[in-house]
Structure 1
């Protein structure tokens, strides 16, 4: 019996197919993160869009906090809700709505501090959780997305290093060339010109996603596994209070807010939190946005008489704390106003195109080498256009039928991928799903207008609906481009299928 260490052709073929499927799966996850992240740039606008008719104001009287605290804690106690604090969203430029949260209860407030309707941002939360955790449990999803950020960083750096003529070809774009040359030029130009943005997003995403893993590692190496000591380097320890502490009046909010304005003039206040309200030792925490800084804010704690107890130091403390606190706003583009959000959105679209063109180049090369992967091409095309379609469909289902956006998105994506693996053509899936996505985006706007009427065309709702319409218009333009190119170009048979799959 002859024994050979050389693998059989069938084994090699199976391993190659498995490698290709794994590569496509990772590319799909990267693509989902990019598409959802591009839309999540406007997550503040989408939160307000979901409940477009709620009162918006930037002026709040200090007495409102006391009234709302009494009503919110009474409601929480009546419902058996356990709580140690009451948190307010102070109306600000990103969220000009007054909101109170006690435990799992979250309500809007009237101008007099009275409790109004419940806060519901389920679709926006789906979108943001899709971006930073792929809707998985946070302990699994966040590190996974962090690893995807590491992969993306490696792809960007290796792509730049693999391009020896990076400056010479900086303005090269062969529109009249073959589909492969077009995809290569599109991929390389986007990769070069937007490289600083792509690197910033990838590195900050990896940092945010893996920070918890790093915290566990540091705790194990230097603090005997005590993660709380690591977190204390970044966060103030929780306010403790004796279990038998007596009842006392609520803090003097007018004095505290006046002192806050004196200590930090020009800071935009966005959160107020009362620890153990109405108990001895209660404390008030206010978080502000620091002008001209990337850190997510600065945190101040006061006693009941308005005396400053502690300043966190995110904006002026240790370098490590400042770097950590700056990652989030840099990653989501929430600095320097609305123009930066628009820039992040457009650059995010470019990042999505970069991912798609990279896989397209690989698939076209396989075709040209005589080893086409038709099933992978169909599945990939179903995902390229099916993922935006599934996101838009989830918004329609949520607005009209209050159906879980998470279930709609993942079920739609899975069904499209499975069906495409066994039927259809690449070009057919491309045109079908582009048309379906256009219709779904328009239906989102129509549904929103039918629910909220004139409120759908003002403030944040106008921005969010404009995003849906821009998506529809952009995809429609891509359909027109594909149609025009098919009519005016005569491609070689080996490339024609790949061209029509764009």
Structure 2
């Protein structure tokens, strides 16, 4: 028996209508998530860019951890900071800086173990949290972004189903056609060719955002509402210190790191944490990154004398655990090195264009049917170019004045939307905000150079400043293309008459 599927005109029409309704319903929030996520691919580089002059060194002696622990605990006691653990960011390829954290204190560490300046990644944290939760409280924002991931998955599937000639039109791109044909071809080609990437991002985003809801559901069904039992399916129980536990010597860092060299020499260490440092019952943990695996890492638990208690088993767990622990690196493109980050950035730009072109098609159709949504189109145009402008402006104001980046972003975005609803044209808003975004991107680089001089041209700073400049160059190219299109389509005077030039 031969099975075949040939969509009827009615089915295609229903899929197209459903696709349009879904896209319009979440267009602005989806676009914000896409833009911020595209930049957040480089969040490790952005963290280093914010404090470009800090020491970077991949080789740290065990004695440095000992000295830094003693100084950090002394500082915490001096500042009356409560803490149950002390943790280190072990210098690694993504973050080659030694950082110690105790309570709310977070400091860089010198080569001799002395504490240096405070760690400040507030702008990067704004960017990541914008993508992760739209700067809303986590209990609301993370779930909302997860739901956007669900809708995005539905958009991708419905878009593919609404395109019955998906193979035949795979290479069709009518640059010289009408604006509607250009937008349709851009939307369809990006949607088709990059659909595996888009689906992977949408599904993992939905999974991450809704995992907390799923955990509560699993707890309610299988564990009588005990969410801690669900958490313990993934993580070892956290140690509990007895009240008034006596003071003891700090863990033997040299022995712990030597044991790591013996049992997992090929794994890159990323984090070292000691629970209840200097107290009886203290335990140490070492986090690593497992080569060739998508899971976010592995974790090893040690006694203070350096003997291994157990391995967490994240890289060797059952299929469900492996899938869950692989979603984060797959979503952000943090695997297989820097080339994958570049690919994710470019594909992320394509996803932004996919969202914009999809909404633009709807506006063009409205105009062609004699029912233009003029005010709404102005607002959408102001958001398309105002959102990247607001992100770049927030970087400038943070670097210079340490202003709250989330407040700057949302105030600028909302203000532009309100003003666009009242005045101007879509074309003028498009061009003026593109120019403003170019200036803001270049301005972010100029301010960074003024603050950090030669450190702005090396390592992670070079990557981030290149991203700003390439973004500005891409927008400048779009301005030039728009000017050319406008010139070619302008009416040409012929005697008393005029004809439209194609």
State the TM-score, normalized to the length of structure 2: 0.93
Structure 1 contact 246–280 (Cα < 8 Å) conserved: yes
Q: Rate the CA distance shift 1:23–1:344 in 2: closer, same or farther, 3 A.
A: closer
Q: Rate the CA distance shift 1:461–1:468 in 2: closer, same or farther, 3 A.
A: same
**Counterpart Cα distance in 2 of 1:261 and 1:369:** 70
Match of 1:142 in 2: 142
**Counterpart Cα distance in 2 of 1:94 and 1:23:** 35
**Counterpart Cα distance in 2 of 1:160 and 1:236:** 43
**Counterpart Cα distance in 2 of 1:410 and 1:219:** 36
Q: CA deviation at 1:220?
A: 1.1
Match of 1:12 in 2: none
Q: Classify the secondary structure of the residue corresponding to 2:314.
A: coil
Match of 1:225 in 2: 225
Structure 1 contact 33–131 (Cα < 8 Å) conserved: yes
Q: CA deviation at 1:420?
A: 0.3
Q: Classify the secondary structure of the residue corresponding to 1:315.
A: helix
Q: Classify the secondary structure of the residue corresponding to 1:100.
A: strand
Taking the TM superposition and a 5 Å limit, the aligned residue runs for 1:34-433 are 34-433=34-433
Structure 2 contact 85–275 (Cα < 8 Å) conserved: yes
Structure 1 contact 110–116 (Cα < 8 Å) conserved: yes
Matched, 1:438 2:476: no
Q: Classify the secondary structure of the residue corresponding to 2:304.
A: coil
Q: CA deviation at 1:48?
A: 0.1
Q: Which runs of 5+ in 1 are unaligned?
A: 1-19, 492-502
Q: CA deviation at 1:80?
A: 1.4
Structure 2 contact 23–358 (Cα < 8 Å) conserved: no
**Counterpart Cα distance in 1 of 2:206 and 2:137:** 17
**Counterpart Cα distance in 1 of 2:392 and 2:172:** 35
Q: Rate the CA distance shift 1:25–1:438 in 2: closer, same or farther, 3 A.
A: farther
**4+ aligned runs moved over 6 Å, structure 1:** 20-23
Q: CA deviation at 1:21?
A: 11
Q: CA deviation at 1:117?
A: 0.1
**Counterpart Cα distance in 1 of 2:437 and 2:151:** 29
Q: Classify the secondary structure of the residue corresponding to 2:313.
A: coil
**Counterpart Cα distance in 2 of 1:441 and 1:25:** 30
**Counterpart Cα distance in 2 of 1:267 and 1:331:** 22
Q: Classify the secondary structure of the residue corresponding to 1:135.
A: coil
Q: CA deviation at 1:161?
A: 1.1
**Counterpart Cα distance in 1 of 2:104 and 2:482:** 50
String of CA shifts for 1:307-362, please: whole Å, max 9, x gaps. Answer: 11121111001211111110000000000000000000000000000000000001
Q: Rate the CA distance shift 1:293–1:23 in 2: closer, same or farther, 3 A.
A: closer
**Counterpart Cα distance in 2 of 1:77 and 1:366:** 66
String of CA shifts for 1:279-326, please: whole Å, max 9, x gaps. Answer: 111111000000000000000000011111121111001211111110
**Counterpart Cα distance in 1 of 2:107 and 2:346:** 34
**Counterpart Cα distance in 2 of 1:240 and 1:320:** 28
**Counterpart Cα distance in 2 of 1:211 and 1:370:** 45
Structure 2 contact 87–101 (Cα < 8 Å) conserved: yes
Q: Which runs of 5+ in 2 are unaligned?
A: 1-19, 492-502
Q: CA deviation at 1:489?
A: 2.5
Structure 1 contact 24–380 (Cα < 8 Å) conserved: no
RMSD of equivalent CA atoms? 1.2
Q: CA deviation at 1:24?
A: 4.5
Structure 1 contact 34–131 (Cα < 8 Å) conserved: yes
Out of 92-101 and 64-73, give the one that drifted further: 64-73
Structure 1 contact 298–314 (Cα < 8 Å) conserved: yes
Structure 2 contact 133–144 (Cα < 8 Å) conserved: yes
Structure 2 contact 23–359 (Cα < 8 Å) conserved: no
